[in-house]
Structure 1
Amino acid sequence: MMVALDGTIVAVANPAIGRDLQASLAELQWVTHGYLLGLAVFLITAGKLGDRFGYRRMYLVGVVGFVVASVAIALSSGVVLLVAFRILQGIFGAVLSPAAMGLLRTSFPPERLGRAFGLFGSLLSAANAAGPIAGGLLVSAFGWQAAFLINVPVGAVALGLGLWLLATDRPDTTRARFDLTGVALLTVAIFSLVWALVEAPGAGWTAAVTLAPLAVFAVFGAAFVLWERRPADPLLPLAIFRNPSVSIGVVLMLLMALSLIGSLFFVTFYLQGVLGLSPTRAGMFLLPLMAMMGIASPLAGRLLDRVGAKIPTIAGLLSSAFGLFLLSRLDTDTAFAFVAVAFLLLGAGLSLVMTGATAAIVGNVPVRLAGVASGMQQSAMQLGGSLGTAVLGAVMSMTIIATLPGHYRAADLAAPGAGELAAMQSTVAQGGAVVPEGADAALTQAVTAASHAAFLDGMHLAFGIAAAVMALAAALALLMRPGTAGAGQAEPVAHV
């Protein structure tokens, strides 16, 4: 839960971090990207480390490292240091996650694994959605640093209970050497892709700072695919993608994370910047999402046991698409009830998609590759979150630049020039307004209204695109195999 919570708790802390450290929108995106990138890049490698050295040992290492990185983040005096420590925090989070799954798998008999993973998914979903609530309370009371220092007491409890209660598991020492070349190639490829997506909105898609990392991504991505055919124990066995349910499950997991993390990133700016809510009240607006994800995940697990993953996954995608469409209709005077309905639909849908996609990935590979599949599933989710803030951020930035001059003219204001527009874009994208010094109340109100209108234009388009993508994903899910995950396999789903 600590790892999942820190993926979303920063959503409410971002505005305070931006004000305190004078960070731009792109730098704030990297506060999210850095953490998710550290997770996505290292998850599969960390799973192999757990197989080699034992899940209990890696779990305890992950707890200690995660807490130390959290303290370093809170003590950071600049955004560059903060992002660096967020990447380190993500790496230790990647050590924790596969180890936790491995501990569950070795501690429960096969007939009770479904219940264990159902509760596990419920806790993770609740932690993801609770981040903005907990963040709002902590930021309002103690400042943004508290959103990270909360991991100190939580980590101390986890470490103490882990040393006391977790039995030593027997590591697997029969595996071949680590695929270090594959790790290096994949790390460079993913980092280059996300870097390009973050830089493109400000620098432009044809700028060298965008095209160069895209070229690096293409080269290293292709090299990774070619290399993975060579090692005896590759980092990511490509043969598992021959199963269409596995491939589709990975895509659906990416899209699910894209919608959740991307939505929370800009909805927070909407609630605090446009509506003027405090961090605590902004977190309370997200309570329906948290509650629905916590309730729906275990129910989704039981439903999948009865009817398989295909139908619930399609239903979840359609529910998520409708929820995102409602969010694309938000305005400056939208009632809480409307927002609550949108989040209830989104929470229910995301729970079904997360559970169904996980079953499609993990349940349709041989047992000997279950660890690799688990790492791949979690990597897809974390990378999807990074891509969500990057892609939706690009849409937001381009829309603001295109529409802000028109809103200024409609308010009888002088439209900003190209240079002014570029300087204003980051502030407007965070729900703010660049008010001239010494402006009276009428001018301040006009500038703020025009800026908020441009922000809403960008948010409407971003969420509209996300809703359309989720609807198309529902059509893709029609190609999933019917029946329960793992049905028809010659070997059991899990070995104890």
Structure 2
Amino acid sequence: MVEAASGELRSDSAAGRWVILTTVLGAGMAFLDGTVVNIALPRIGQDLDASFAGLSWIANGYLLTLASLILVGGAVGDRVGRRRTYLAGAVGFALASLLCALAPSVEGLVAARLLQGVGGAFLVPGSLALIQTSFHPDDRAKAIGAWAGLAGVTTAIGPFLGGWLVEVASWRWVFLLNLPLAVVVVVVGLRHLPESRDPTVVGRPDLAGAALGVLGLAGATYGLIEENVPIGVLGLAVLVAFVVAEGRNAHPMMPLSVFRSRQFSGANGVTFAVYGALGAVLFLLSLVLQVALGYSPLAAGSATVPLTLVMLALSSRSGALARRIGPRIPMTVGPSVITVGLLLMLRIEVGGSYVTQVLPALLVFSAGLVTTVAPLTATVLAATDERHAGVASGINNAVSRTAGLLAVAALPLVAGFDASGSVGPAALLDGFHRAVLVGAGLTAVGAAVAALTIRADVLVIDGDGDGDQGVAVPSGAGEGEAAPEPCFHCAVSGTPPPVERPSATMAD
């Protein structure tokens, strides 16, 4: 039984705390999955005799369906109910996690990871959307802050927990961990989550666009991982067809009109550069630490914890700085600092000390990341008017996922790996250094894009809603109310925070 009407909950009430707990646990499953699977990859490769291409598909299978369907998941929630969609996503994610744990082969695990992405596409958009629609406007910012803090804890412990499970039990427990979390989410959610939907939404979900997105990204990903040029080109052609179809659809899942804002386009360009580098580096780093440097799974998981702790400690301050001086300087300096951190990773060698080689690079990298993420998120939400904040956030979420997907898929080509076989320690470390150089170039381009496209006053409110002179604050932050704090953990998980989707279309 739901204890309060939608939009009326208070953050300090028992009902409000139940909603925060349920949404944190659901989002935590996805965030944990994004951090612990990378730690488990070396053991998975050993047990299932996986090639480098197989490991890439294990990581990318989830991202492929999630990136392609996440906008559809949000749109379905608007139509049939956000609580219903969120809980269905939790059930689907849990069942797919069970299949992952039981997978007898690489092919079976990849298939289960694809299904996990489908469940995540309905789970991820609903978490913050439920908070936005469940809490009283006066309490939304506070509720989102509590959500971000608690979800951040799950992200911080993810690598350590994943390494511990792999070391003392099996990589299969990394996936089984989701089952009890899903049970709690469904049982508590059925009783305590208020239902909400958007009665103004018209038209059917953009299933044709979703199909083209899946096929296009699958073709491009396959072409990169397997070095199959014809299929890769075909995938790119399908992605072009997707863009054309979205321009002609009366109710597209990705309205092209939002890209008329130079701020929105520029912010998504920076997103693609930063999250592409982040996805590739974190994927390879866990392999390098264990395969090339001889770290145990637990040590490898613990090694990246400082990255999350820096985000946890400094994200709010970064957001406050962006509100004072505008986003242009942080979004230019941040990717530049990330570039320096990546270049420091060139010093990582066999026999080197974690304290002198790995840790300094991670600290500089995370400093750049925390400088970038908060103003980036705020700019994305401010670059379109308030009615389109949900659409803008959803698109940016898909861009970040797609960037990580394509970056990992391109690693055999960039790093010079033979994807059809396993990669030895020396070749892995050499390829990591090449990938780091490419990633540094990518983030340097991101810094240049921010310098050329992002206005310092884009967060200033003038009410014209054009996205280039400063627009209304995101939904839920009204006159005299602070905008929600940025979601620091989203950088580590590759998930810019979704917000309430006021409509699934952009009918003006």
Give the TM-score, by structure 2 length. 0.81
The answer on 1:249 being equivalent to 2:267 is yes
Does the residue aligned with 2:416 lie in a helix, a strand or coil?
A: helix
The answer on 1:359 being equivalent to 2:378 is yes
| Contact in 1 for aligned 2:64/2:214 (Cα 8 Å) | no
Counterpart residue number, 1:76? 103
Counterpart residue number, 2:454? 480
CA 1:111/1:310 → structure 2, altered by over 3 Å: closer, same or farther? farther
CA 1:161/1:485 → structure 2, altered by over 3 Å: closer, same or farther? farther
Provide the C-alpha distance between the structure 2 equivalents of 1:111 and 1:354, rounded to a whole number of angstroms. Answer: 25
**Aligned partner of 1:67 among 94, 104, 110:** 94
Q: Give the gaps of 5 or more residues in structure 2.
A: 1-27, 465-471, 477-499, 501-508
Does the residue aligned with 2:474 lie in a helix, a strand or coil?
A: coil
CA 1:257/1:126 → structure 2, altered by over 3 Å: closer, same or farther? farther
Counterpart residue number, 2:206? 179
**Aligned partner of 2:332 among 308, 314, 319:** 314
| Contact in 2 for aligned 1:47/1:99 (Cα 8 Å) | yes
Provide the C-alpha distance between the structure 1 equivalents of 2:251 and 2:278, rounded to a whole number of angstroms. Answer: 34
Superimposed CA distance per residue, residues 83-105 of structure 1 (whole angstroms, 9 cap, x where no aligned partner): 11101111111111111121122
Provide the C-alpha distance between the structure 2 equivalents of 1:306 and 1:318, rounded to a whole number of angstroms. Answer: 20
**Aligned partner of 2:313 among 295, 311, 317:** 295
Superimposed CA distance per residue, residues 244-263 of structure 1 (whole angstroms, 9 cap, x where no aligned partner): 11112112222222222211
Percent of paired sites with the same residue = 36
Counterpart residue number, 2:134? 107
Map 1:119-130 to 2 at 5 A. 120-121=147-148, 127-128=154-155, 130=157
Provide the C-alpha distance between the structure 2 equivalents of 1:325 and 1:117, rounded to a whole number of angstroms. Answer: 35
Aligned-residue RMSD, C-alpha: 2.2
The answer on 1:18 being equivalent to 2:36 is no
Counterpart residue number, 2:163? 136
CA 1:476/1:492 → structure 2, altered by over 3 Å: closer, same or farther? closer
Counterpart residue number, 1:369? 388
**Aligned partner of 2:398 among 379, 384, 390:** 379
| Contact in 2 for aligned 1:121/1:297 (Cα 8 Å) | no
| Contact in 1 for aligned 2:50/2:422 (Cα 8 Å) | no
Provide the C-alpha distance between the structure 2 equivalents of 1:321 and 1:79, rounded to a whole number of angstroms. Answer: 34
Q: CA deviation at 1:163?
A: 2.2
| Contact in 2 for aligned 1:486/1:493 (Cα 8 Å) | no
Q: Give the gaps of 5 or more residues in structure 1.
A: 201-209, 402-421, 432-451
Residue type of the partner of 1:278?
S
Residue type of the partner of 1:146?
W
Superimposed CA distance per residue, residues 364-383 of structure 1 (whole angstroms, 9 cap, x where no aligned partner): 11233222222211111111
Map 1:290-439 to 2 at 5 A. 290-338=308-356, 339-398=358-417, 426-428=422-424, 431=425
Counterpart residue number, 2:55? 28
Counterpart residue number, 1:169? 196
CA 1:348/1:167 → structure 2, altered by over 3 Å: closer, same or farther? same
Provide the C-alpha distance between the structure 1 equivalents of 2:50 and 2:300, rounded to a whole number of angstroms. Answer: 21
**Aligned partner of 2:285 among 267, 272, 280:** 267
Does the residue aligned with 1:494 lie in a helix, a strand or coil?
A: coil
CA 1:352/1:393 → structure 2, altered by over 3 Å: closer, same or farther? farther
Counterpart residue number, 2:4? none
Provide the C-alpha distance between the structure 2 equivalents of 1:116 and 1:324, rounded to a whole number of angstroms. Answer: 35
**Aligned partner of 1:49 among 54, 61, 76:** 76
CA 1:345/1:130 → structure 2, altered by over 3 Å: closer, same or farther? farther
Provide the C-alpha distance between the structure 1 equivalents of 2:236 and 2:166, rounded to a whole number of angstroms. Answer: 40
Residue type of the partner of 1:297?
S
Residue type of the partner of 1:199?
E
Provide the C-alpha distance between the structure 2 equivalents of 1:300 and 1:222, rounded to a whole number of angstroms. Answer: 37
| Contact in 1 for aligned 2:268/2:380 (Cα 8 Å) | yes
CA 1:321/1:136 → structure 2, altered by over 3 Å: closer, same or farther? same
Superimposed CA distance per residue, residues 100-128 of structure 1 (whole angstroms, 9 cap, x where no aligned partner): 12112223455655555555555556655
Provide the C-alpha distance between the structure 2 equivalents of 1:45 and 1:374, rounded to a whole number of angstroms. Answer: 13
**Aligned partner of 2:216 among 180, 184, 189:** 189
Q: CA deviation at 1:129?
A: 5.6
Map 1:190-269 to 2 at 5 A. 190-200=217-227, 210-269=228-287
The answer on 1:463 being equivalent to 2:481 is no
CA 1:488/1:391 → structure 2, altered by over 3 Å: closer, same or farther? farther
CA 1:238/1:34 → structure 2, altered by over 3 Å: closer, same or farther? same
Residue type of the partner of 1:256?
V
Structure with bigger gyration radius: 1
**Aligned partner of 2:121 among 94, 98, 105:** 94
Provide the C-alpha distance between the structure 1 equivalents of 2:285 and 2:320, rounded to a whole number of angstroms. Answer: 31
Residue type of the partner of 1:357?
L
